[in-house]
Amino acid sequence: MKTLVCTTPGQFDYQSGIKPELTPNHAILRIRRIGICGTDLHAFEGTQPFFTYPRILGHELAGEIVEIDEAAAPDFKPGEVVTFIPYFNCGHCVACRAGKTNCCVSLQVSGIHMDGGMVEYLSVPTYSLVHGNGLSVDELALIEPLSIGAHGVRRANVQPGEWVLVVGAGPIGLGVMELARIAGGNVIALDINEARLAFCRNKLNVRHTVLAIAPDVAEQLAAITGGDMPTVVIDATGSQRAINKAFQYMAHGARYVLVGLQKGDVSFSHPDFHKREGTLMSSRNATRADFDHVIAAIKRGEIDPATYITHRVAFGQVRDEFAGWLDPANGVIKAMVEL
Ligand SMILES: [Zn+2]
Ligand SMILES: [Zn+2]
């Protein structure tokens, strides 16, 4: 079985691995699609927190069930095309007991803390499986990043009609924008890259976009919001500078949700935050409810995630193409690997 291993930052190697054998409470998937995510790019660059090498990356996956412990998951049958929730939780810690399986104390994320999906066959626990619901393999591989956005929007508790500033127009930010719009929010996109903002306007119908490197970002946001400023700010950059800066874009009484992750400390003016009575939250991964919400939105035609795919490669080409996806000049929004 062919596998692609990130042996050290900046280095991929194709290696031959052993095809997994079926074990109790598991299914063997033949991987069909692997979405490439910012986390994978950061892992390759060596800038992802909590990361060790060598590691097989890949957690945005669609695959066909080839073998399954049917007693453990009678709803699923060989031949079904599925995705799965790649966050494996313990089931008994304080977070799991509260239903917050996405931030389990000993969470193991496939492709991050343990080897993931850049393989031909992968064994996954049956509790993580998500029915394909007739979606395409491309759509199924995009459910996970959209669910991260759905979770951030749920954390923010976006209300109809309120202004939602989404900082960062990468794949996660796009998902946040779509789910915020579905929740009824008026979305404003902020990014340093004009091409990405144009994508938001043209493909996602985001009415308001602001270039983050403009000298008057706060003034533009005030003008768009009638002087109020956004009552929800959601970071999807994972950039320390962007995160620290966006505190000043919060309305009084606003919620600020950090979906992105970076390695350093977050710092902000306590008096400015206090005067706003701000709420600061992190948003980690997603839950099954978020996956179900995204699938329903795709089925209703409210999201067409296949429009995010800008680059496609065969599994055998990933090693040669991957470094190029780090260069903003190549305009990658979502690269999709086909098997
Ligand atoms: Zn991801
Ligand atoms: Zn747990």
pLDDT-derived band at 118 (thresholds 50, 70, 90) equals: very high
Q: Any bridge partners for residue 206, and if so which?
A: none
Residue range 36-62: mean pLDDT, rounded: 91
Res 275: pLDDT: 98
Please give the angle made by the CA atoms of 84, 85 and 90, to the nearest 5 degrees. 130
pLDDT-derived band at 301 (thresholds 50, 70, 90) equals: very high
Distance CA(142)–CA(36), nearest Å, equals 10
Domain with CATH 3.40.50.720 in the chain: 149-282
Res 329: pLDDT: 83
Q: Any bridge partners for residue 27, and if so which?
A: 68, 124
pLDDT digits (tens, 9 = 90+) for 147-199: 999 999 999 999 999 999 999 999 999 999 999 999 999 999 999 999 999 99
Res 192: pLDDT: 96
Q: Residue 245 Cα, ligand 2 centroid: separation in angstroms?
A: 33
Count Cβ atoms within 10 A of the Cβ of residue 63 and give its class: 0-12 exposed, 13-18 middle, 19 or more buried.
buried
- In the structure, ligand 1 is a single-atom ion and the residues with CB under 5 Å from it are 37, 39
Token reading at 72? 């453990």
Strands 11-16 and 2-8: antiparallel
Token reading at 28? 């063997």
Element of type H or E holding 270: helix 270-276
Q: Residue 109 Cα, ligand 2 centroid: separation in angstroms?
A: 12
Token reading at 66? 């080839």
Maximal CA-CA distance, the chain: 61
Instruction: Give me the DSSP letters along 53-72.
Output: SSB----EEEEEEEEE-TTT
The sign one gets for the Cα dihedral 75, 80, 81, 86 is positive
Res 330: pLDDT: 87
Q: Residue 94 Cα, ligand 1 centroid: separation in angstroms?
A: 25
pLDDT of 57 strictly over 80: yes
Res 323: pLDDT: 92
Indicate yes or no: pTM above 0.85.
yes
Q: How far is CA 33 from the centre of its chain?
A: 16
pLDDT digits (tens, 9 = 90+) for 81-103: 999 999 999 999 999 999 999 99
pLDDT digits (tens, 9 = 90+) for 20-32: 999 999 999 999 9
Alpha helices in the chain (DSSP H): 38-45, 94-97, 137-141, 143-156, 171-182, 194-203, 217-224, 240-245, 270-276, 288-299, 318-321
Token reading at 234? 């959601």
Domain with CATH 3.90.180.10 in the chain: 2-141+304-338
Distance CA(111)–CA(114), nearest Å, equals 6
> Which one is the CATH code of 2-141+304-338: 3.90.180.10, 3.40.50.300, 3.90.110.10, 3.30.70.100?
3.90.180.10
Q: Residue 277 Cα, ligand 1 centroid: separation in angstroms?
A: 32
Q: Residue 59 Cα, ligand 1 centroid: separation in angstroms?
A: 6
Res 289: pLDDT: 97
Q: Residue 144 Cα, ligand 1 centroid: separation in angstroms?
A: 7
pLDDT digits (tens, 9 = 90+) for 238-295: 899 999 999 999 999 999 999 998 889 999 999 999 999 999 999 999 999 999 999 9
pLDDT-derived band at 303 (thresholds 50, 70, 90) equals: very high
Q: How far is CA 197 from the centre of its chain?
A: 18
pLDDT of 327 strictly over 90: no
CATH architecture of the region 149-282: 3-Layer(aba) Sandwich (3.40)
Res 162: pLDDT: 98
Nearest bound ligand to the CA of residue 148: 1
Phi and psi at residue 188, to the nearest 5°: -120, 130
Q: Residue 37 Cα, ligand 2 centroid: separation in angstroms?
A: 25
